[in-house]
Amino acid sequence: MRRRRTTFALGGVAVAAALALSVRGGLGPSTSPTTQSPGASAAVAGPTETDCVDAPSRCGYPDETTTGVSDGVTLKKSGSVMADEDGQVVEGLDITGEISVSAADVTIRDVRVTGGRGAGASDWVVVMRPGAERLVIEDSELRTPAGSEQDLACVLNIGDGEPTVRRVDMQGCSIGVSTGGGVVEDSYIHDLAMVPGLSHVNGVASMGGGGLTVRRNTILNEHPQTSVVALYQDFGTQSDDLVQDNLLAGGGYIFYGGDGTFGPTSKIRFLDNRVARLYYPKGGSLGVIAHLDLDLPGNESSGNFWDDTGELL
């Protein structure tokens, strides 16, 4: 159970089967060291706080003390839940299994879900199916059994809906949130799992389409692949994506910028993010950013800075 959450004010700032395959590691881009990376900006002093990755909430970023089930909520044991009625609210449950969402305007609030391999017959933690429009997941914990090898997303979107995920603690999955568009905010994604030789590990991944906002999160990927925030073109081009005011570390690259075979990108923005060298000297094992064409309209990478020095990247 977490302590009372705070407000994060940072001033420095589809084919179901194919998507399932993408989560299982077969479709993301390679972590090749030859990928394009923009030139670094001149070093400029950043915010006064440094080494925030050691205690994220000290600097206003989410961690285990500010995400998850709200204080004072008593959870009731449950098996898997089918959210198949429009407007359904799923709350106050300690679920071993999965939540399968196939209706519109569902809210998942103040739940703990332990799913995936080793958690009974569940295949997922939370899965969004066709028809799951305007799903909200908030103040919850999504996880897999401690220490287990997993190749799944804590939130897997295999439909066209755009979820809102806020103040959620996600751990033990190979991807925190896998979706086309939507909002992931004020959440803590960490201790990611993998199946060696199979998983592509990402904190948040969009497989195509765009319209994704990732803001005010702490996302830590201790693995040397694939990324922290990834914009892929597995199922379509990327546009209108915003990644801003996050605390990020690890993966092959911190950011994958959306380049791919479906077409040119636009309005891909990585702004004011704090990058920690928690696992690797370059932020990610290979560097900070790849696959972003800064010559295309609206694409931008600016204001991003090192956690330990405050200097711009």
Q: What is the DSSP string of 145-167?
A: -TT----SEEEEE-SS---EEEE
The answer to whether residue 181 scores a pLDDT higher than 70 is yes
96 vs 141: CA distance, rounded Å: 12
Please tell me which residue, 45 or 47, carries the higher pLDDT value. Answer: 47
**Residue 264 pLDDT level (bands cut at 50, 70, 90):** very high
b/e code 222-235 from CB counts within 10 Å (16+ = b): ebebbbbbbbbbbb
Please tell me which residue, 176 or 29, carries the higher pLDDT value. Answer: 176
The two structure tokens encoding residue 220: 């830590």
Q: What is the mean pLDDT of the chain?
A: 88
Provide the whole-model pTM: 0.86
Phi and psi, residue 183, nearest 5°: -130, 130
Overall average pLDDT of the 12-38 stretch: 33
71 class by beta-carbon count within 10 Å (0-12 exposed, 13-18 middle, 19+ buried): exposed
253 closest CA partner among 274, 234, 272, 275: 275
Contact yes or no for 281/288 (Cβ under 8 A) = no
240 vs 312: CA distance, rounded Å: 24
pLDDT at 46: 53
208 vs 204: CA distance, rounded Å: 12
Contact yes or no for 226/28 (Cβ under 8 A) = yes
Neighbour tally for 213: CB within 10 Å? 17
Chain centroid, CA 279 distance in Å: 18
27 closest CA partner among 288, 208, 266: 208
133 vs 130: CA distance, rounded Å: 8
Neighbour tally for 306: CB within 10 Å? 18
The two structure tokens encoding residue 27: 């479709």
184 vs 42: CA distance, rounded Å: 30
pLDDT at 84: 98
290 vs 248: CA distance, rounded Å: 15
Overall average pLDDT of the 231-249 stretch: 96
The answer to whether residue 123 scores a pLDDT higher than 90 is no
What percentage of the chain reaches a pLDDT higher than 90?
Answer: 81
92 vs 140: CA distance, rounded Å: 9
Chain centroid, CA 156 distance in Å: 11
The answer to whether residue 101 scores a pLDDT higher than 90 is yes
